[in-house]
Amino acid sequence: MDDVKVRQVGNGVVFSAKVVPGSSRTAVSGLLDGMVKIKVSAPAEKGKANKCLVGFLAKQLGVKKSDVSIISGRGSPIKTVRVSGVLAEGVREKLGLEGDI
Reported as a single tens digit per residue, the pLDDT across 55-95 is 999 999 999 999 999 999 999 999 999 999 999 999 999 99
Give CA 4 to chain center in angstroms: 11
Closest CA to 16 of 30, 32, 46, 36: 36
DSSP letter assigned to residue 77: S
Using CA atoms, how far apart are residues 91 and 86, in angstroms rounded to an integer? 7
At 101 the pLDDT is 39
What is the pLDDT at residue 99? 57
pLDDT tens for each residue of 2-40: 577 899 999 999 999 999 999 999 999 999 998 999 999
Architecture of the domain whose range is 7-88: 2-Layer Sandwich (3.30)
Question: What pLDDT does residue 16 have?
Answer: 97
pLDDT attached to residue 2: 53
Rounded CA separation 101/85 (Å): 25
